[in-house]
């Protein structure tokens, strides 16, 4: 824990750590939702969707890493028990029990929209108060916006294909 690095944070550091820990839980759950989704997904355009889900899983894990490093810099401890992820998460977890591509895409689009809202709030909260956290949550927000767009583009292609196929 760097003392000067923490002094320059112009907000309640404990409260900030608690909020970052909630986002940390979201990232792990999002990671797993993408990871398992990429394994079980079925239907047309499966290959393209698997590639996207796999890439997003890696991004979510990287986000968890970025947030955990910041929590530790702030003198906090990232949540250590997976059983607490559900308890603290903002966006929860949607099991891909219906593995049809369209359902999996819909679940993940919903998750990204929740993530965008979560990071929008975090960007607003830290703006002008904690430039280091601000920079991290802004980078993550940019990724989540890209994720939503990627998934919606897949969904558009899928809808065209299903229409042609007469479904
Ligand atoms: Mg992508
Ligand atoms: Fe993320
Ligand atoms: Fe995402």
What does the DSSP assignment read for 63-125?
A: HHHHHHHHHHHTT------THHHHHH-SS------S-BHHHHHHHHHHHHHHHHHHHHHHHHH
Q: How far apart are CA 55 and CA 110, in angstroms?
A: 17
Q: How many domains does the chain have?
A: 1
Measured CA to CA, the distance from residue 161 to residue 92 in angstroms comes to 31
Distance from the alpha carbon of residue 62 to the mean position of ligand 2, in angstroms = 8
Give the ligand whose atoms come closest to the C-alpha of residue 49: 1
145: domain CATH number? 1.20.1260.10
Residue 9's domain comprises: 3-165
Listed residue (77, 78, 76, 79) closest to 6, CA to CA: 76
| φ and ψ at residue 151, rounded to 5 degrees | -70, -40
Q: How confident is the model at residue 46, as a pLDDT?
A: 94
- Cα 91 from Cα 14, distance rounded (Å): 22
Q: Tell me the CA–centroid distance for residue 167 and ligand 2, in Å.
A: 33
Alpha-carbon distance 55 to 146, whole Å? 12
Rounded Cα–Cα distance for residues 85 and 151 (Å) = 24
Q: Ligand 2: distance of its center to the CA of 67 in Å?
A: 10
On whether the pTM is more than 0.85, the answer is: yes
pLDDT of residue 6: 94
Which numbered ligand comes closest to the C-alpha of 145?
3
pLDDT along the chain (167 residues), means of 10: 90 98 98 98 96 98 98 98 98 98 98 98 98 98 98 96 81
Residue with tokens 């990871």: 35
């Amino acid at each position: 824990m760097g003392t000067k690095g923490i002094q320059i944070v112009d907000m309640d550091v404990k409260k900030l750590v608690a909020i970052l820990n909630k986002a940390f839980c979201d990232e792990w759950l999002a990671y797993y939702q993408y990871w398992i989704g990429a394994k079980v997904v079925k239907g047309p355009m499966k290959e393209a969707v698997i590639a996207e889900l796999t890439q997003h899983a890696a991004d979510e894990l990287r986000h968890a890493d970025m947030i955990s490093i910041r929590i530790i810099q702030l003198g906090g401890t990232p949540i250590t028990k997976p059983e607490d992820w559900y308890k603290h998460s903002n966006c929860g977890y949607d099991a891909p029990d219906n593995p049809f591509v369209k359902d999996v895409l819909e679940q993940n689009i919903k998750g990204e929209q929740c993530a965008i809202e979560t990071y929008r709030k975090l960007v607003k909260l830290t703006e002008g108060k904690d430039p280091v956290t601000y920079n991290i949550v802004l980078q993550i927000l940019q990724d989540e916006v890209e994720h939503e767009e990627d998934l919606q583009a897949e969904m558009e292609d899928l809808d065209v294909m299903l229409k042609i196929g007469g479904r």
